[in-house]
Amino acid sequence: MKTWLLRLAVLAFVAYGTVTLLNLHAEIREKETQAAELSEKVAAAEQENQRLQEDIDALDTDEGIQDTARKKLGMIASGEIVFHDVGN
């Protein structure tokens, strides 16, 4: 009778361990997927940051300042003539 109880206890322990390991394995796969998604988001954010930094750096040049003055403020350089298309 004791052997039967011991075998049942060992079987229950092995079953519990197996279920626990399977659950942990599924969680690990889920976390790895999340980590990969986050890595992709970080890479995209780094690319966007690089693009924005390039835009900022371009604003610190004479050409960048002139371009901003033309587009945002409607300014023109001396001697330039501006034509407005009124057809649209």
| 46-68: burial string, b at 16+ Cβ within 10 Å, e else | eeeeeeeeeeeeeeeeeeeeeee
Task: Spell out, as residue ranges, where the chain has pLDDT lower than 70.
Answer: 88
Q: What is the pLDDT of residue 80?
A: 84
pLDDT the model gives residue 76: 84
Give the per-residue pLDDT at 88. 64
For the chain, the domains span 2-72
pTM: 0.57
